[in-house]
Amino acid sequence: MISVLIPTRDRPGPLHRALRSVARQTYRHFEVIVVRDGGHTVEPVIDRWQREIPIRLLESDTPNGVSHARNRAIAAAQGDHVALLDDDDVFLPHHLQAAADALRTRRVDAVYGQALVSPTWIEDLPRDRGHLPCKDYAFDPAFLSVANTIHTGSVVTRNPAGSPVRFDETLDHCEDWDFLLALRAAGHRFARLDTITSVYHQVPVPGAVHTAYQSTPTPFTRARTLLYDRWPAATGRAEEYRDWFRRFDQRLDTLIANGRGVPPHVYEHAVRELHATFTDRRSPDRDLLGRLLPLTPAAPSRHDGGAFAFRPAVTHAVR
């Protein structure tokens, strides 16, 4: 059995869509555990789906953070495996079946599907998705020690309840990356599924990432520093790439401190380009940092009204 773990707070509409995506699964041997981490009641949403899928609701009136919510769900999960799903993302109908098949036939402990990234609310693959980016990175344990390439809502892993691996409740950012590194350190074998199995919603509303870029050092800088100290680089080349990200964080924090805006999705642009050179066994492009985070604003054009223009060469954009 697979236990689907969904933390939620004050997003009844997205939670409804997330549960509908679970109800549409072709694989039926699952349970759903929803954890309300503070905020308003979700009982009307749960009641809507209770007759169609097995749901348990764990509630807390005090917000304790997404890591605490996920850990509560892990402790309650009865499945052999757990599937992670944020309340604003959705599974495609074959997600759990593809994961179950791979876990059975490929002799691995954790799998992750490819995730389509959408700036609008969708529940199926659009007919024309060429313009939408996809988190589709092949698994590379060395690069995982540099940056996270796996979408949380695409992961199905052996239930860690019998191990010490949990989400770090002291982390407000990068807790999912830390969890994956902990699973890897505990000996979990990973595999990527061959198809897109989930949708990662990036609807353009102010959220945690936008807020994080309002002060320096950013929470991402602090979290990355902590994780680099906690988890050794897998290889010498991984350490070289970590040095690049340290310079990236320093440059980004300097720009924010000087009142400069952060280019949209700049971190993911960096990951996309660096993953390619890492896979080719090359050193990081020494000009990439300047292209992604120029020290001087781009020259204004007659089309942008004089605003800071950021036009990266790549189009992959996720938070």
pLDDT in tens, 160-182: 999 999 999 999 899 999 999 99
**Do the beta carbons of residue 250 and residue 298 sit within 8 Å?**
no
End-to-end CA distance of the chain: 31
User: How open is the CA angle 245-249-265, to the nearest 5 degrees?
Assistant: 85
Average pLDDT over residues 246-270: 90
Tokens of 255: 């720009």
Q: Each residue of 191-235: pLDDT tens digit?
A: 999 999 999 998 876 656 666 677 789 999 999 999 999 999 999
Q: Each residue of 6-51: pLDDT tens digit?
A: 999 999 999 999 999 999 999 999 999 999 999 999 999 999 999 9
Q: Is the pLDDT of residue 304 over 60?
A: no
Give 91's pLDDT tier (boundaries 50, 70, 90).
very high
Question: Which percentage of the chain shows pLDDT scores above 90?
Answer: 79
Give 268's pLDDT tier (boundaries 50, 70, 90).
confident
Global pTM reads 0.89
**If DSSP codes are grouped into helix, strand and coil, which group holds residue 56?**
strand
**Do the beta carbons of residue 167 and residue 183 sit within 8 Å?**
no
pLDDT for the residue numbered 308: 33
Average pLDDT over residues 241-257: 96
Give 298's pLDDT tier (boundaries 50, 70, 90).
low
98-102, 129-133, 272-276, 306-310, range with the lowest pLDDT:
306-310
pLDDT for the residue numbered 303: 45
User: In whole angstroms, what is the distance from residue 88 CA to residue 121 CA?
Assistant: 9
Q: Is the pLDDT of residue 271 over 90?
A: yes
pLDDT for the residue numbered 206: 60
pLDDT for the residue numbered 210: 61
H or E element at residue 225: helix 219-230
pLDDT for the residue numbered 203: 82
pLDDT for the residue numbered 316: 35
H or E element at residue 7: strand 2-8
Q: What is the dihedral of CA 180, 171, 4, 271, to 10 degrees?
A: -50
Q: Each residue of 93-151: pLDDT tens digit?
A: 999 999 999 999 999 999 999 999 888 898 999 888 878 889 999 999 999 999 999 99
Q: Each residue of 49-87: pLDDT tens digit?
A: 999 999 999 999 999 999 999 999 999 999 999 999 999
pLDDT for the residue numbered 261: 79
Q: Is the pLDDT of residue 299 over 90?
A: no
pLDDT for the residue numbered 312: 36
User: In whole angstroms, what is the distance from residue 107 CA to residue 177 CA?
Assistant: 23
